[in-house]
Amino acid sequence: MAGFDGLQVAAFESRRAADMRQLIERQGGVAHVSPSMREVPLETNRAVIDFANRLITAQIDIVVLLTGVGTRHLVQAIERHVDRERFISALADTITIARGPKPVAAMKELGIAPTHRVPEPNTWRELLQTIDAEVPVAGQTVAVQEYGVPNPSLIAGLEARGATVEPVKVYDWELPEDTGPLEATARALAEGKIDVALFTSANQVTNLLRLADELDLVDAVRAGLSKSVVASIGPVTSARLREEELPVDLEPEHPKMGQLVVAAAERAGELRERKQRLTVEMLSSAPATRSQAPWHDSLFLRACRREVVERTPIWLMRQAGRYMREYREVREKTTFLELCKNPELCAEVAITARDRLDVDAAIIFSDLLPILEPMGFELEYAQGEGPIIHNPIRANEDVDRMVELSNVDALHYVMETCRLTREQLDPQIPLLGFAGAPFTLASYAIEGGGSRSFVFTKTLMYRDEGAWAALMERLVRGIARYLNAQVAAGVQAVQIFDSWVGCLSPADYRRYVMPYTRRLIESVARGVPVIHFATGNPALVPLLAEAGGDVVGVDWRMRLDDAWQAIGPDRGIMGNLDPLMLLADPADIRRAAGDILAQADNRPGHIFNLGHGVIPQTPVDSAIALVHAVRELSAR
């Protein structure tokens, strides 16, 4: 068999159901094609007739046609009340924008052609880009033939450009008259009997879930879709799936039904196997809080719980890095992003660093930013420039294109890194996972890379608090799923890095950041220690504790005893040697470590670390000397 190789493939096409069945079967799939919707013209549509008269009398400046079937229904709805030829002539004399090939074909049937045609993938975003490039709409009246349901993003985009928008609704989407086939597919999804689900329109998603709700199967259908391979014909459909917190495993290069089926057939086996493997791995991983696990009574985890320990545990942020020869040898063979996506190499460099330094915890090797890729950002690590995001958020409407991270399938390599590192690591040594905090990830997404002033971030934050809230809430949900997946895949604690939040005042932190960071920390699996780390502004330290975390990580800009007093007695503390101290003589390193330990004064809950990551110029022997000094000086 070709392609699907006997997989059970569900599709929800209505008008072209027979074609869809044939395409699936030709690719070797067992087809479950169940029509999910029908277009129902509005019986009494005075608004459409009024629109036609206004068009004929030149009161409409621009007409946007979103669908082929809608264009046809529009003409049918008016021709009994308005002269058809006058209407078509008026339409031909008006600026028209066709969203894609289907309205173009419908206009051709009328003997006219659109003034402008929106390029692939034919979403509302490309429509607005076409308008920006070719059609000034400020002060114009724009009629929009609706898609069965309103598109608030398109309407808002037109209004933001100064247009007066008149929606023209010509039909509703309803369930098919015979819902039997769709019910059967919904039940098959709920029972886990569907391997692949193909969606060719956003309304198919809506109607499938609507029927599932009527059958009291909506949760089971959602679970079935999460386990199957979900293929979407294009961005509009993908956006609806993600709004419903459902996975999107693939899109074809071009938004066409045949290409969707071929792309799904080529990749379904691989994607299905990967999803199944991830599920098994995460279910079989040892629970992070299991008291009989060999790492449970490690110095590190006991310190996280603020228990009395025999000596102060130590690990180093960025302990696997360019300062270490073994890491440089690995990096010579691959790019940084390719390394992050290679679980075997990630496990190797993390464990090598842990063993070489003999520290009390390992941390998975990854980076803060790969989580942004499945959220719709184009990420590159440029040689000598650090990370670059080529499509940053620069305006409130850009937030709408940020994809909801509804599952972690696209980050499977990080979960595999967690699993392999835990499997190969000394069982007595706990493993940390990590993620960027919402503010730091938002800043990267907005600035497009590093920044000194954070001008774009603060502009959005100050000028549009609604857009800022939408961005931060989406990040909180995605990061929470990401961290909890790491826990399920094998880590024992997590660290949240807010590396850039030091650019804010305490008042701004409290208003724009704290609610979201607190929600993220509260979302981490119960019983898993959370280290909440930030750098750059000592005035934020008490607010970090207020936001949450079992341990607060502090940098070197504040004495450790002053920081602990600001944090309060109910949390541990991590830190806080200046990373550049590792460039000093061993005697000075030992003296500086002893000073920090004296400030900790043997209080339970201290984890020794640098105030930030190891820098590339650090001699490995200096890092080892620090570890030995902390071990010797802190022994009870």
Q: Name the token pair of 317.
A: 């942020």
Active site residue 603: no
Q: Name the token pair of 270.
A: 């691989």
Q: Determine if the peptide bond prior to 121 is cis (ω within 30°).
A: yes
Among 32, 403, 25, smallest CA distance to 249 is for 403
How far apart, in whole angstroms, are the C-alpha atoms of residue 564 and residue 402? 38
How far apart, in whole angstroms, are the C-alpha atoms of residue 21 and residue 227? 22
Select which of 367, 400, 561, 578 is catalytic: 367
Active site residue 512: no
How far apart, in whole angstroms, are the C-alpha atoms of residue 126 and residue 331? 39
* DSSP-assigned states of every residue in 586-609: HHHHHHHHHHHHHHHTT-TTEEB-
Select which of 331, 401, 591, 603 is catalytic: 331
- 24 φ/ψ angles, rounded to the nearest 5 degrees: -65, -45
Name residues whose C-beta falls within 8 Å of residue 311's C-beta, 6 or more positions apart in sequence: 299, 630, 631, 634, 635, 636
Q: Determine if the peptide bond prior to 604 is cis (ω within 30°).
A: no
Active site residue 367: yes
Active site residue 331: yes
H or E element that contains 193? none
Give the residues across from 388 on adjacent strands: 380
How far apart, in whole angstroms, are the C-alpha atoms of residue 589 and residue 583? 9
- Whether the CB-CB separation of 522 and 548 falls below 8 Å is answered with yes
Among 392, 504, 388, 394, smallest CA distance to 456 is for 394
Select which of 147, 171, 323, 444 is catalytic: 444
Buried b / exposed e along 198-210 (16+ C-beta atoms within 10 A): bbbbbbbbbbbbb
Select which of 72, 210, 240, 318 is catalytic: 318
Select which of 84, 222, 302, 322 is catalytic: 322
- Whether the CB-CB separation of 519 and 477 falls below 8 Å is answered with no
How far apart, in whole angstroms, are the C-alpha atoms of residue 110 and residue 86? 12
- 574 φ/ψ angles, rounded to the nearest 5 degrees: -125, 130
**What's the helix, strand, coil split of the chain in %, to 5?**
50, 15, 35
Active site residue 54: no
- Whether the CB-CB separation of 400 and 428 falls below 8 Å is answered with no
- 133 φ/ψ angles, rounded to the nearest 5 degrees: -85, -30
Catalytic residue numbers?
318, 322, 331, 367, 444
